[in-house]
Amino acid sequence: MGDHFEKGQHALLNEGEENEMEIFGYRTQSCRETLCLAGSIFSFGILPLVFYWKPAWHVWANCIPCSLQEADVVLLRTTDEFQTYSRKKVMWICLSALNSAFRLNPDNPFITDEESIINRAIRKPDLKVRCIKVQKIRYVWDNLEGQFRKIGCLEDWLSSAKIHLKFGSGLTTEEQEIRRLICGPNTIDVEITPIWKLLIKEVLNPFYVFQLFSVCLWFSEDYKEYAFAIIIMSIISIALTVYDLREQSVKLHRLVEAHNNITVSIYGKNAGVQELESRFLVPGDLLILMGNKVQMPCDAILIDGSCVVNEGMLTGESIPVTKTPLPKVDGSVPWKTQSEGEYKRHVLFCGTEVIQAKGACSSPVKAVVLQTGFNTAKGDLVRSILYPKPMNFKLYRDAIRFLLCLVGTATIGMIYTLCVYVLSGETPGEVVKKALDVITIAVPPALPAALTTGIMYAQRRLKKRGIFCISPQRINVCGQLNLVCFDKTGTLTRDGLDLWGVVPCDGNGFQEVHSFTSGRTLPWGPLYAAMTSCHSLILLDGTIQGDPLDLKMFEATTWVSLCFSEILRSFFKARPTQ
């Protein structure tokens, strides 16, 4: 569809990423809108219904192609095998509320940094920023690049030296205000869908529209009993579906809401350390992590100090992970590729719990906000629930082929009926009724109600076993599975392990197995020393925490974990007096 577009009318959104989409620019035309409005009236609402099912047709009928810079409507198309279309209106963010004293101040390094997407966006005389919102993510128009770019995260091209230099002392109040307006609040809000919206969405399903057409036809033929039975079945199935969807929407909302609006400490260039609600955080803010058991409200890069983090919420693993500060390395290489090893060991992810934060030389632990809102790791997790990927299973393909066969059979029957009744001299009204009646016979109108009832019954059986499902249509697909593969057994087996034994080694080779099951202790040697010292265990609130394997090895040595001060105290106590 996009082959005939000129330069600037078509681009890629999230290029190279998993959710890559094509974006096309359109401008609404008044005369086309008027014609579509007239068509909606004369078609008795059928045209808006078709536009609802086919958003691309709605755009093509009401708008003309134009450059993305001039577009007031954009059409998105996924680049996967499904090529799903969606329509989005271009919105404006007005920056006139900002103080004119710093809006266009050339001495402000934040404003004059030409490499920043935010700065490119605000360089307009009217101080308005064009943006679109796709699956909870905000995209801002970049004047220099000539395309919409994702906002709400630090740029990937930043080097570790620039992150330390630019954000190591925090943002000014002016910089924070600009970023809050453009990036939006740091919240992961899952709205509770109103019942009327769920009801309309369910009723406008093509099956139920066909069912309504069939019922109206049967009433005109005085075939009321079966029509009433279909109506009652449909109402019950629609009510059950809406009730379950509403209940799941409320549960998901409460689950996500529990972790919003945490009070955090940030460091600013103007006001020093201040307390702030987490929803006001913006990329580039400098977080001060104090104390233990801190819930991370955003993704952040650790630049000073070290942290022990529980990432069980994201990974399902209960093993604490040690995070190290991002090294300050000179150069222009992006920080993700510049840091030694995997960059994730420097990142504190949203939703995870900081078990222990330890600063270097009594200085506070500092982290620069990397991503906020739905751009974070937790936000990606929630978005994957809200917007599941379409599935191209053979079951769906066969179901569509079956319906097409039924429609084809009905069409042949309708043509035959028309010929027979016209030749027999029936009235035009009677001919139309009989011809349409053939379609309702070939395609069962009770099919959607029967399918919905079956899915609801299956969902309630799953609910009794504590299985949460927000996409009931996928239950049919699950019934076709004959093999399930898991990438690990950590979540299936019991939590914990026991040390059975070790195999010591000397210069001559491996020795006999030393088993711990009989209660024997390992004699002193290199292996014993390694088991007592080579680990990442920490002492937190009087208990040892860390990797379960490290913990079991340490416990097998029967040593006692002491902090450094206790070791010194014990050492001086044991020293003989002079």
The DSSP line for 408-441 is: HHHHHHHHHHHHHHHHTT--HHHHHHHHHHHHHH
Same domain, 464 and 509: no
Tell me if 64 is assigned to some domain.
yes
Cβ count near 220 (within 10 Å): 13
pLDDT for 393 equals 58
Which segments of 27-68 does DSSP mark as H helices, in order?
30-42, 46-53, 55-62
Tell me if 77 is assigned to some domain.
yes
pLDDT for 105 equals 44
Is 115 within 8 Å of 82 (Cβ atoms)?
no
Task: Report the range of poorest mean pLDDT among 88-102, 299-313, 531-545.
Answer: 88-102
Looking at 89, 111, 144, the residue that finishes a domain is 89
**pLDDT tier at 515, thresholds 50, 70, 90:** confident
**pLDDT tier at 112, thresholds 50, 70, 90:** very low
Q: Which of 107, 126, 487, 498 is catalytic?
A: 487
pLDDT for 63 equals 92
Same domain, 451 and 529: no
State how far the Cα of 367 lies from the Cα of 346, in Å rounded to an integer: 9
Same domain, 251 and 398: yes
Tell me if 212 is assigned to some domain.
yes
Same domain, 248 and 396: yes
Tell me if 384 is assigned to some domain.
no
Task: Report the range of poorest mean pLDDT among 21-35, 49-63, 144-158.
Answer: 144-158
**pLDDT tier at 104, thresholds 50, 70, 90:** very low
Q: What is the mean pLDDT of residues 357-370?
A: 83
- Over 90: is that where the pLDDT of 35 sits? yes
Tell me if 96 is assigned to some domain.
no
User: For the range 158-162, what are the long-range contacts, defined as Cβ-Cβ under 8 Å and sequence gap of 24 or more?
Assistant: 158/334, 158/335, 159/329, 159/331, 159/332, 159/333, 159/334, 159/335, 159/338, 160/326, 160/327, 160/328, 160/329, 160/335, 160/338, 160/339, 161/328, 161/329, 161/330, 161/331
Same domain, 207 and 243: yes
Looking at 74, 89, 104, the residue that finishes a domain is 89
Same domain, 251 and 395: yes
Domain, as residue range, for 212:
195-255+391-478
- Over 80: is that where the pLDDT of 268 sits? no
Mode of pairing for the β-strands spanning 128-134 and 137-142: antiparallel
Residues 6+ apart with CB under 8 A from 406: 442, 443
Tell me if 325 is assigned to some domain.
no
- Over 90: is that where the pLDDT of 31 sits? yes
Same domain, 420 and 467: yes
Tell me if 509 is assigned to some domain.
yes
Is 487 catalytic? The answer is yes
**pLDDT tier at 576, thresholds 50, 70, 90:** very low
Looking at 89, 110, 141, the residue that finishes a domain is 89
Burial label, 342 (beta-carbon count in 10 A; 0-12, 13-18, 19+)? exposed
Same domain, 462 and 538: no
- Over 60: is that where the pLDDT of 259 sits? no
State how far the Cα of 264 lies from the Cα of 272, in Å rounded to an integer: 14
What are 166's two structure tokens? 């630019």
Tell me if 73 is assigned to some domain.
yes
Same domain, 470 and 517: no
Number of domains in the chain: 3
Q: Where are the beta strands (DSSP E) in 127-223?
A: 128-134, 137-142, 147-150
- Over 50: is that where the pLDDT of 571 sits? no
- Over 80: is that where the pLDDT of 473 sits? no
- Over 60: is that where the pLDDT of 110 sits? no
